[in-house]
Structure 1
């Protein structure tokens, strides 16, 4: 059965996301999907299910590595009975916060701080590639209102740009341990919505953040969520107790429950 919905979950930049010992880092199943503007290939590995795609990618790791980590945390609960889950790898490119070292990142930035300007050129270039990838699924019969975009850390920020600047017709957006720059283009776009545009529902936002995160403090995530809420978004923010900049089993279980509320089985899946 062809998928009738799609979830984009792009994880990136977490030094704690690597699979534990004993979990293989096999890249043999990676499938090359597209090219970004600099010629770097976007790679992702997936597992076919009946309804949706979930995309996950991590900086300094691969989509397949993140998949193994999610499977390790959730075991038998790591898949949906009616959803297809896909884990992509962000392009391998120079990353300024690492002194220009090349890494798997969705976009560049001056520093990991909300006070610096966005590197909007790299954000928009990557968004264009991801939109094209999503449009391929739409062309194959997956409607936008059966698609969720989301991610961890930088991947969550990328998803926010996708859901609120490029593809506001999606079913939902989630961002885990993520933040936006204080003068993000997203705030500008939302603040300029006309009265007619405000009558159109934007996708709900689901955010989680570890209360012990030292790389991206929870304060940044809360401030991002509060600003987006004041601009009219339906937001939900969840504090993950005793969590650093990492994915926790409880967090993933809550996320999966939310995804199922946004993408329940269709009649074809019953």
Structure 2
């Protein structure tokens, strides 16, 4: 592979059906790309919302015997006490904040931008929302965990998102990111932001993936957090 291995192709985008007055930035999981999620959002699209599904850069991943694959940061293990790639997580978070800034420059205020992701992408979306000065519309966190959780609440002391709404979803048959991680993450989140604004939904029999029922819940959450603006 030649060139800069840290660079990634342009995001997959589902444009708004009319003028975009809100945006969803959604981050895929390890080894994936944004294309599948762009297709999923095209199926539940809301006319005034633009969906941006960036692709992670390709890098060697310790968890998978250092094989190179799309990954937002390195993962050493999936146990609660595994070491974490603090430098990589923070770098990836800064890149997502830059993506949010780009949409603000494009005319969508940050409080009309919802951040989300699946698995590793969901982990990064939670971390970014808790450490950014950009006031966001909320977070959709699917089948994931909170990275560097021992660095909180200090890391979220200056966050603009103490009152953001979070929809966290997790399958109760997840063999990769155990359901317990999801429920523990929801409890940790309740100690960091307004607990009344956190919704944790479980899906019976769902492994490490999404399901139609979950996508309906995601759509309802987006509709609630990103309603149309009255002059549309």
Pairwise same-fold verdict (TM > 0.5):
yes
1:181 deviation in Å? 4.6
Q: How does 1:56-67 map to 2 (within 5 A)?
A: 56=26, 57-67=28-38
1:224 aligns with 185
When normalised by structure 1's length, the TM-score is 0.75
1:199 deviation in Å? 10
Cα distance in structure 2, aligned partners of 1:132 and 1:42: 16
3-state secondary structure, aligned to 1:206: strand
Q: Is residue 14–residue 38 contact of structure 2 (8 Å, CA) maintained in 1?
A: no
1:86 deviation in Å? 2.2
Could you say what the CA RMSD is over the residues aligned between the two structures, in angstroms?
A: 2.3
1:54 and 2:16 equivalent? no
Residue ranges of structure 2 left out of the alignment (5+ in a row): none
1:32 aligns with none
Residue ranges of structure 1 left out of the alignment (5+ in a row): 1-36
1:210 and 2:176 equivalent? no
When normalised by structure 2's length, the TM-score is 0.87
Higher RCO, Cα 8 Å, sep 6+: 1
1:120 aligns with 86
Aligned length: 223
Which deviates the most, 77-86 or 206-215? 77-86
1:106-127 Cα offsets, whole Å, 9 max, x none, are: 1112111221232110011111
Q: Is residue 117–residue 183 contact of structure 1 (8 Å, CA) maintained in 2?
A: no
Which deviates the most, 246-255 or 161-170? 161-170
Q: How does 1:133-148 map to 2 (within 5 A)?
A: 133-148=99-114
Q: Is residue 91–residue 104 contact of structure 1 (8 Å, CA) maintained in 2?
A: yes
Cα distance in structure 2, aligned partners of 1:267 and 1:105: 39
CA, structure 1 residues 246+223, in 2 after alignment: closer, same or farther (shift >3 Å)?
Answer: same
1:130 and 2:96 equivalent? yes
Cα distance in structure 2, aligned partners of 1:199 and 1:59: 28
